[in-house]
Chains A and B, each alone.
Chain A
């Protein structure tokens, strides 16, 4: 079954604006990862955050994790046209090697 669910399903913003998307999950996790998928391409790993971490940064990306609320957010600052893509969260749970993906948030950055 699907573990993570992203919100919103779709997001349209102007270049230079920030984009925020959220991921909620159902059971306790080991790690939460965010991936990007450009149209017609494979997924690209963005950030991995462990269950004992609360925040991580990578360039213009900021990920937070709130295990009490079973949720994570991905913030893209100063968006660019090249950020247009689908963004997926993925979780793995203790004792299970499987990575479960959400349905993704489709982000469109308008020039």
Chain B
């Protein structure tokens, strides 16, 4: 039973397209996150939701829109994809803020 799962694992798409990445956690956690990891392995927070409420919204282009239909799910929709969006995107969850985080396996996005 996977604690934090993401789909798809790989996503290859053309510039200008719109795509979504889905995340689900079965840990009963209240808080979920989206991170972007670049080619140098630098990991940066993008968004965080606590009990379905957006609490962290870093300086991210508004082409990126998170959606949390319920506490167990946090999806990421990206409009008008650009080359610079190519990265690995990780979803994570934690019981509450500032606790240990559990990461999903990542989604490798390649924009051509």
* Chain A interfacial positions (CB closer than 8 Å to B): 2, 30-31, 33, 35, 37, 40-45, 48, 86, 88, 92, 97-101, 103-104
Chain A to chain B: the 5 pairs with minimum beta-carbon distance, closest first: A42-B103, A45-B100, A97-B97, A101-B43, A43-B103
Q: List 24 A-B contacts (CB under 8 A).
A: A30-B98, A33-B100, A33-B101, A35-B103, A37-B41, A40-B106, A41-B105, A41-B106, A42-B90, A42-B103, A42-B104, A43-B90, A45-B100, A45-B101, A45-B102, A86-B41, A97-B50, A98-B45, A99-B45, A99-B98, A100-B45, A101-B43, A103-B40, A103-B42
Contacting pair B41 A99 (CB below 8 A) = no
Contacts known (A41-B106, A103-B40, A104-B41); A97 close to B100, Cβ less than 8 A: no
* Chain B interfacial positions (CB closer than 8 Å to A): 4, 40-45, 48, 50, 55-56, 58, 90, 92, 97-106
Q: Is the interface of A mostly helix, strand, loop or mixed?
A: strand
CA A88 to CA B43, docked complex, whole Å: 9
* Chain A residue contacts of B58, Cβ below 8 A: 98
